[in-house]
Structure 1
Amino acid sequence: MLDALRSIQSATCNAAGVPLSFDNDDAAIAAATGSVALYDASHWGRIRVSDADRLNFLHNQSTNDLKNRQPGEGCDTVFVTSTARTIDLATAYILDDAVLLNVSPGSAPELIKVLDRYIFFSDKVKLQDISTATVAFQLMGPASQTIVEQLGASQLISQPYGTHAEITIADMTIRIAVGGNLNRDDYTIIANATDAAPLWETLTTHGAVPCGETAWEELRIRQGRPMPGNELTDAFNPLEAGLWHTISFDKGCYIGQETIARLETYNGVKQQLWGFHSDQPVEIGTTITIDGSKVGQVTSIRSSSDGYIGLAYIKTKAGGAGLAVTIGEIQTTLADLPYLTRAKQV
């Protein structure tokens, strides 16, 4: 269904058809930080949750307050196991008759299986994987709001994260939301897959610079955004992953709530996510030490214009930003990153 889109993108794609590069990685990174870049997030998952009990159900299955959200609002939330291990980080958009979940690449089928286990006979909840029927694009960078205004959605400017609205442009009905998967000041656009090619052309005509997965991955690590398979696994919980902003600590019971509450109450977060820079490559999983004692491990690494950048979990008792550590044979220091939060959000 995305053949028309891929034909006009002229990108180098992987076996799954995901655009890896538009042969402009440096320009895309510069645009995402200085003007506006356009990231094709269509390979991320989208789940439509509908029927009368949808808000109560999702409220009880994830970390944020969904029950009290109104149509037009949205938020990030984490689905966790009963012991608060991360399953996925999602963005929930509240619609008039449903909730639209934007989830990580490839995670929609498995997350639906997990959620389906908790739908009982009397529950009025329906789950639908709409990943292939829709596309998602993200406008990244300080000039993103200029394009949003040009599209006719100026009412979204300066609105809270997750605020969204449906608009029509050139016979295309699209949903624009405040915030992206890297930056709260970016914008997410969701549309029907049949409109993918003309919508992409419209956005690039307005000046957005295409950004492939390779450049996006560098931006992700610079921001500190955790991802499934790296920082979000059954070995870590949302507090360790720096996702405090996705958690409501006074919403009441939900799956994993007791563990999260206990960790917060007793300062029980044993490890935390930090960034690092290196002039040499290291492998994911490389042990991080201080004076020969293990204090953590590398979870992500990527080459960049100024060496190598990565993410790592470090024992809380060892320290944090500015801490000198050894990664393999490399000496470096830990850095805090913009995406991560480490305390309750007001």
Structure 2
Amino acid sequence: MMREKLQVVQAAAGAVFEEIAGDKIPVSFGNDVAAKQAVREGVAICDRSHWGIIRVTDEDRIRFLHNQSTNDFQILKPGQGCDTVFVSSTARTIDLATAYVTEDAVLLIVSPNRRQYLIDWLDRYIFFADRVQLEDVTGETAIFSLLGTKSDEILAQLDLSSIIGQAYANHQLVQLQDVEIRVAVGIGLATPGYTLIVPADKAAIVWNHLIETGAVPLGDRVWEQLRIEQGRPVPDKELTEDYNPLEAGLWQTISFNKGCYIGQETIARLNTYKGVKQHLWGIRLNAPAEPGSIITVGEEKVGILTSYTDTEEGSFGLGYIRTKAGGIGLKVKVGEVIGEVVDVPFLTRSPDRSDSSTDAIHS
């Protein structure tokens, strides 16, 4: 286990660990309120090393990924990246991934419970003449997210200013404490920040240095709270066989101009004929509610709650609601709990922001 030194350092700082997708992950540092405050007013650091990294190499890698997911890879140059969705042939969501294009590879950051599934799924589409190699490099790396309004200031202190102000998912290799790391704009949330990909055996050094520079450690419990409040969908909750990426509010990850890819016909038809029958929304609740609860308006079933979290402002959930029922401001019941539909910043609902994959849409 190449990240053991990192876990020793985190344990000494008060980390409480849980097993997530087979990995030991700090879910809290006993400072959840302070960590969330740091996101709003300073900078926090979250260990996301349990997220998967798939390295795609060989000559056909760009064409292959272009044909297997929703975004336009052929417009990307080394040092650029994008969010993209892997979908089934009927456009049902498999995972929301972030791709970083380098000189000789594409690095895909995928959800913790999707890395082996995606490797197996992608491998089925590599045919005899295709020059594409897939490698799971998750165990060789650590992923840190620097998140918060002052994340630029941390990078400036570390002499890493060259990435500041660049487009979402732009990335570069830099030296930090004699360790070569990849720094990318954005963290997969609507909060400003940066993703750092670090060699696993040097992860403790980099983590310590970031803490010494002023980053507040943030556990996976707060990350989950942030992702629900902001509306980032995840597999097995919002991304399932029941939903397509338009319903999931992931228009910013879809190119409507790039031509054929798996699921493209269904997505194009839904867009052309305004066929999106339900949308993912935030729901402010007056009491806790269980994911899976039915959402109703009057006596009519209009949707289902997919995620729930407690926040400082009260109970909050994500749920799919039928388009015809309404949107922002709609009063609903979630089980027996009263709620109101609200917008969430991560999601987009129209194609006007969807073909600029390198725009800083979430940064």
Whether the 8 Å contact between 1:225 and 1:340 is mirrored in structure 2 is yes
- Which residue of 110, 135, 143 maps to 1:128? 135
Describe the SS at the equivalent of 1:174.
strand
Structure 2 counterpart of 1:211: 218
1:148 aligns with 2:155: yes
**Greater displacement, 246-255 / 305-314:** 305-314
What is the TM-score normalised by the length of structure 2? 0.94
Structure 2 match to 1:269: 276
Unaligned runs of 5+ in 2: 354-363
| Alpha-carbon distance between aligned partners in 2 of 1:236 and 1:3, rounded to the nearest angstrom | 38
Deviates more, 1:145-154 or 1:258-267: 145-154
Out of 327-336 and 54-63, give the one that drifted further: 327-336
Superposition deviation, residue 90 in structure 1: 0.4
Structure 1 contact 161–184 (Cα < 8 Å) conserved: no
For residue 208 of structure 2, what is the amino acid of its counterpart? E
Query: In the aligned structure 2, how far is the partner of 1:41 from the partner of 1:275?
Result: 24
Contact 1:152/1:167 (8 A) holds in 2: no
Shift of 1:306: 2.8
CA distance in 2, matches of 1:178, 1:271: 31
Change (3 A) 1:184 1:29: closer
1:101-147 C-alpha deviation (Å, 9 max, x unpaired): 01111311110000000001110000000011101000111100111
Structure-2 change in CA distance of 1:345 and 1:39 (3 Å) = farther
Letter in 1 for 2:10: Q
Correspondence 1:12 to 2:16:
yes
Cα separation, 1, equivalents of 2:112 and 2:65: 20
In the alignment, which residue of structure 1 is the partner of 2:194?
A: 187
Counterpart pick for 1:260 among 221, 245, 267: 267
Distance 1:108 1:329 in 2: 37
Fraction of identical pairs, as percent = 54
Q: CA deviation at 1:56?
A: 0.2
For residues 253 and 61 of structure 1, the distance between their equivalents in structure 2, rounded to whole angstroms, comes to: 9
Structure 1 residues 282-319: Cα deviation after superposition (integer angstroms, max 9, x where no partner):
11110011111000010001122232111000000101
Count residues in correspondence: 346
Equivalent of 2:325 in 311, 318, 329: 318
Name the Cα RMSD after superposition. 1.0
The answer to whether the Cα contact below 8 Å between 2:302 and 2:325 also exists between their aligned partners in 1 is yes
2:289 is equivalent to residue 298 of structure 1: no
| Distance (Å, rounded) in 2 between the aligned partners of 1:339 and 1:230 | 16
**Matched AA of 2:206:** L
CA distance in 1, matches of 2:282, 2:155: 32
Which residue does 1:286 correspond to in 2?
293
Identify the residue that residue 359 of structure 2 maps to in structure 1. Answer: none
CA distance in structure 2 between the partners assigned to 1:326 and 1:200 by the alignment: 44
1:184 Cα deviation after fit: 6.1
**Residues 323-332 or 46-55, more deviating:** 323-332
Would you say the 8 A contact 1:138–1:189 is kept in 2?
yes
Which of 105, 108, 117 is equivalent to 1:110? Answer: 117
Question: Which range moves more in the overlay, 298-307 or 222-231?
Answer: 298-307
1:327 counterpart = 2:334: yes
5+ residue gaps, structure 1: none
